[in-house]
Amino acid sequence: MIDRYARPEMRHIWSLENQYQSWLDVEIAVTAGWVAEGHVPAEDLAAIRANAKFDVDRIAEIEETTRHDMVAFTRNVSESLGDERKWIHYGLTSTDVVDTAQALRLRQANNVIKADLAAYKDILATLARKYKHTVMMGRTHGVHAEPTTFGLKMARFYQAAVRDLERFERVAAAVETGKLSGAVGTFANVPPTVEEAAMVELGLTPQAIGSQVLPRDLHADYVTTIAVIGTTLEEVATEIRGLQRSEIHEVEEGFKGGQKGSSAMPHKRNPIGSENIVGLSRVLRGYAVTSMEDVALWHERDISHSSAERIILPDATTVLDYMLHRLTAILENLQVFPETMLANMKRTYGLIYSQRLLLKLVDAGMSREAAYDTVQPLTARSWDEQLQFRDLVDADATITEKLTKAEIDDAFDYNWHLKHVDDIFKRVGLAD
């Protein structure tokens, strides 16, 4: 991932230095497994733990000849050891190390993302509670529908964040798995007992069965879930973008002193952070497609997935980390304008109360069809002629014969639409 979208912790996790360190961790853990098996002397393991090291530049130098990064790595590590070097990579195939070590780095990335998700969920909870009763226009098809609250909108996003954390914890656990079963998964040269001991040291789950590689449906599920999470972030970002439009202006991304919105127009304050989230979510969905195409390999393995994974796994985790961090910051600094929300509700002449009025007429004895046919012409006239809907209702004899002034007043009270806000907050776990 380009530096612009890579935070320091993720940049380190996916660095070449950390890759080789994870490889070395696996090699040492396997040697420990052989010691437990009684095949390798304990003193040789002690020497390896104390002295084994690698040099990134030296590995690159050796790889110029070997054209194989794992061979270059093991030869470089052997240069730091004495006779005990013979136990490095003993009985292993390259992918035993690569796949298992990748699980170690994924676990590191998972821990970062879990913390990101928790912080993101918390800010949504804070906003939901703060604006629980802040009335605003609910919109369907981009058009005024009925009143809601800004808190309910945030509570809906909070619930999605809860699901995001749950789904990520599931796939994170699934990819924190390793295998040491050899070239075709038969454990011909490394017995399952060695694998089990090594996985205990590494803190990974041994995969029950594999081929030369771990099953790639695990990683497809993982990357696809990351894409789903990214898409839920896009939903929040899209909402902010919509509400920040000049014609609406109910929220606005924080704008720091000295910040510039446009190179040409000094007045511009653009929702660039939210737009950034939208763009990166598209990247994640592309990675999801690639991850699924990596599942079907030839027989017990080919390497068509390898080149793709070198890109999509670091990039997907790095991008999601960046997106979560940036969107959380946007929400923490979000400017909310309750007065504008209330004012905007009046822009459609009171038409937002048409359903409530219709139902009151039904309750007063009219058929639903008759009530609908009574109310709709008034709504059409209100909209077309830019007249207040309430004035037309008060002048309609059919309605005033059925409803008292108090009943009509009640129909035009937005508080009716908010009476179950507390109930909804309880259902999503945000009750005071």
- Cβ proximity of 131 and 336 under 8 Å: yes
Q: For position 264, what pLDDT does the model report?
A: 62
Q: For position 265, what pLDDT does the model report?
A: 59
- Which residue in 35, 32, 33 sits closest to 49, CA to CA? 32
- Which residue in 236, 240, 264, 265 sits closest to 254, CA to CA? 240
Q: For position 268, what pLDDT does the model report?
A: 60
Q: How do residues 277-330 score in pLDDT, each as one tens digit? A: 999 999 999 999 999 999 999 999 999 999 999 999 999 999 999 999 999 999
DSSP notation for 219-247: HHHHHHHHHHHHHHHHHHHHHHHHHHSTT
**Exposure class string for 56-88: b at 16+ Cβ within 10 A, else e:** eebbeebbeeeeebbbbbbbbbbeebeebbebb
Catalytic residue among 141, 246, 263, 267: 141
DSSP 404: -
**Exposure class string for 18-38: b at 16+ Cβ within 10 A, else e:** bbbbbbbbbbbbbbbbbbbee
Q: For position 432, what pLDDT does the model report?
A: 77
**Catalytic residue flag (residue 144):** no
Q: Which two tokens stand for residue 50?
A: 């104390």
Q: How do residues 82-140 score in pLDDT, each as one tens digit? A: 999 999 999 999 999 999 999 999 999 999 999 999 999 999 999 999 999 999 999 99
The answer to whether residue 266 scores a pLDDT higher than 70 is no
Average pLDDT value for residue range 10-33: 98
Catalytic residue among 133, 211, 246, 262: 262
Q: How do residues 157-174 score in pLDDT, each as one tens digit? A: 999 999 999 999 999 999
Q: For position 269, what pLDDT does the model report?
A: 77
Cα–Cα separations (whole angstroms), residue 153 to 15, 133, 303: 39, 11, 46
Rounded to whole angstroms, the Cα distance separating 32 from 215 reads 25
351-411 has CATH 1.10.40.30 classification: yes
Q: Model's pTM, two decimal places?
A: 0.94
The answer to whether residue 221 scores a pLDDT higher than 90 is yes
**Catalytic residue flag (residue 141):** yes
Q: Do the first three CATH levels of 92-342 and 351-411 match, i.e. the same topology? A: no
Rounded to whole angstroms, the Cα distance separating 430 from 225 reads 25
The answer to whether residue 255 scores a pLDDT higher than 80 is no
Average pLDDT value for residue range 132-151: 97
**Domain boundary assignment for the chain:** 92-342, 351-411
DSSP notation for 186-198: S-SSS-HHHHHHH
Average pLDDT value for residue range 244-250: 96
Q: How do residues 181-200 score in pLDDT, each as one tens digit? A: 999 999 999 999 999 999 99
**Exposure class string for 180-191: b at 16+ Cβ within 10 A, else e:** bbbbebebeebb
CATH topology of domain 92-342: Fumarase C; Chain A, domain 2 (1.20.200)
Rounded to whole angstroms, the Cα distance separating 198 from 87 reads 14
